[in-house]
Amino acid sequence: MKEILPPLLIMEKMVEKLQSYYPSHEHKKEGTIQFNLKHLEKSIDCYIKSDKESLNFFEGTVEKPTVTVKSSFYDWLDLAGGKLNPFFGVVSGKLKFSGDTTFFKVLPRKQLKNRLIVPVDPVTKFERNPTRYWQIPGKVIILNASPRGENGYTEFYLNPFINGMQKHTEVEMVRLNKFKINPCIGCFSCWMDAPGKCVYREKDDHHKLADKMFEADLTVYAFPIYADGMPGILKNYFDRSVSRAYPYMIEGMNRVRHPRRYINHNHSMVVFSICGFFEMINFEPVRAYFKALAHNRHTPVVGEIYRTTAVGLYGNPFTYKFLNRVLLALSDAGEQIILKGKIKKTTLKTITKKIVGKPKDLNKINEWWDEKKGSGDYNY
Ligand SMILES: Cc1cc2nc3c(=O)[nH]c(=O)nc-3n(C[C@H](O)[C@H](O)[C@H](O)COP(=O)(O)O)c2cc1C
């Protein structure tokens, strides 16, 4: 279990860091800096001893230090971090020094490495405005992330969308439930020990699948809503994709993100989701998720298709006409997304149209569940 580090350990860590800059420091000198710090009614006494080679940290007090600092622990941290000016610190009584204050020069300043270690992966024009710079994608991959795969309603609603897309480009369907993907265990081995390689690399299918997905210029993430989000198998896939980014931080669009290890500048995505409930608000959590994901994967979302009451619409004689209109609109949406990189508002209106008469429909649906009780019909 993690616990907050005690002040003495924080001081020791600070000295360790300073020591790493000390060998090339121009003001190396012999002497001692004594700290008498207060924190939560307790005294923290420690000192730094310097010589021509190193800085060393000790607990306790030393006789005849070169310079002494008395203050609260926080004020010392503010001074060391450059947030407290030493002159104002003394005038305000926050800091008390005795001895030779010029001796503080023995403490080196943090040095940034000259070597540029951060890979370059800036925001592109396409990412900012994919519709304006749209080119027909050479290849589309649909990731069907329904745990029920080909037996699910996700695939049923996907089919006309795929047919529409196939009129203009190559489309491949990949079913996520056919792949074994372990959940990320958060070890960061893929960033610290074996860059880009997950500890599960040879033990499951993640990297095989991620390489496959990289062939696409447009990816369609298709999934049913599960417990107000995406099914765990898809979240596991995204979590594991951390190994495909570098750990470094770079500026993105108004916020920080990581550079990618594998780059396709024309890559975009479509979110395609269905749910059992009636209202579009049920898609808000995943809509927000994909907005964040799009930024952090440098991959703009060019279309969002959400269909409520996906199960209720199917096989019901009284919604048959309605369902067929939705399926036709999905096919149109498939063509539009490939040709223009966007879906017309009128098309989306038909796809998302609400089934009316909620209380009546609720009764029908409740009846449906009642009939299914004990039926063993898992392929409903
Ligand atoms: C475990 C589970 C959780 C679900 N959670 C929700 C939910 O939070 N909101 C919703 O509207 N529908 C929910 N549903 C309904 C599914 O979105 C709906 O049945 C969908 O058609 C399933 O897709 P599939 O046929 O491809 O499996 C849930 C279904 C399952 C199995």
Residues 28, 43 contacting (CB under 8 angstroms): no
Q: How far is the CA of 277 from the centre of ligand 1 (A)?
A: 8
Residues 162, 334 contacting (CB under 8 angstroms): yes
Question: Does the structure show a pLDDT above 90 at 327?
Answer: yes
Cα 211 from Cα 269, distance rounded (Å): 16
Alpha helices in the chain (DSSP H): 7-21, 73-80, 86-91, 125-128, 153-166, 189-192, 206-213, 232-240, 284-296, 310-313, 320-340, 345-352, 358-372
Buried b (16+ CB within 10 A) or exposed e, 94-106: bbebebeeebeeb
pLDDT in tens, 104-163: 999 998 777 766 678 999 999 999 999 999 999 999 999 999 999 999 999 999 999 999
Q: How far is the CA of 154 from the centre of ligand 1 (A)?
A: 10
CATH architecture of residue range(s) 7-106 = 2-Layer Sandwich (3.30)
Q: Which ranges in the chain are annotated with CATH 3.30.1050.10?
A: 7-106
Nearest CA among 162, 151, 148 for reference residue 327: 162
Tell me what the pLDDT averaged over the chain comes to: 95
Q: Which ranges in the chain are annotated with CATH 3.40.50.360?
A: 125-372
Index of the ligand 1 atom closest to the CA of residue 275: 17
Question: Does the structure show a pLDDT above 80 at 253?
Answer: yes
Query: Using CA positions, which residue lies closest to atom 15 of ligand 1?
Result: 276
In the chain, % helix, strand, coil (3-state, to 5) comes to 40, 20, 40
pLDDT band at 328 (very low <50, low <70, confident <90, very high): very high
Q: What are phi and psi of 8, to 5 degrees?
A: -60, -40
What CATH topology corresponds to 125-372? Rossmann fold (3.40.50)
Q: Provide the pLDDT for residue 116.
A: 67
Give the mean model confidence (pLDDT) for residues 221-225: 98
Cα 229 from Cα 210, distance rounded (Å): 21
Q: Provide the pLDDT for residue 379.
A: 84
- Separation in Å, CA 189 to CA 184, 192, 278: 11, 5, 43
Index of the ligand 1 atom closest to the CA of residue 155: 26
Index of the ligand 1 atom closest to the CA of residue 229: 8
Q: Ligand 1 pocket check: which of 151, 157, 161, 275 to mutate, most ligand atoms within 8 Å of Cβ?
A: 275
Nearest CA among 198, 215, 216 for reference residue 207: 198
What is the pTM assigned to this prediction? 0.92
Cα 86 from Cα 183, distance rounded (Å): 50
Q: What are phi and psi of 197, to 5 degrees?
A: -115, 120
Index of the ligand 1 atom closest to the CA of residue 277: 11
Q: How far is the CA of 179 from the centre of ligand 1 (A)?
A: 20
Query: Using CA positions, which residue lies closest to atom 27 of ligand 1?
Result: 152
pLDDT in tens, 52-107: 999 999 999 999 999 999 999 999 999 999 999 999 999 999 999 999 999 999 99
Report the pocket of ligand 1 as residue ranges, CB < 6 Å.
146, 148, 152-154, 224-228, 274-277, 282, 310-311
Least confident span in 35-49, 111-125, 209-223, 356-370: 356-370
Index of the ligand 1 atom closest to the CA of residue 223: 26
Question: Does the structure show a pLDDT above 90 at 358?
Answer: no
Q: What are phi and psi of 138, to 5 degrees?
A: -70, -35
pLDDT in tens, 286-297: 999 999 999 999
Give the mean model confidence (pLDDT) for residues 160-168: 98
Q: How far is the CA of 304 from the centre of ligand 1 (A)?
A: 18
The two beta strands, 139-144 and 170-175, are parallel
Nearest CA among 207, 158, 162 for reference residue 180: 207
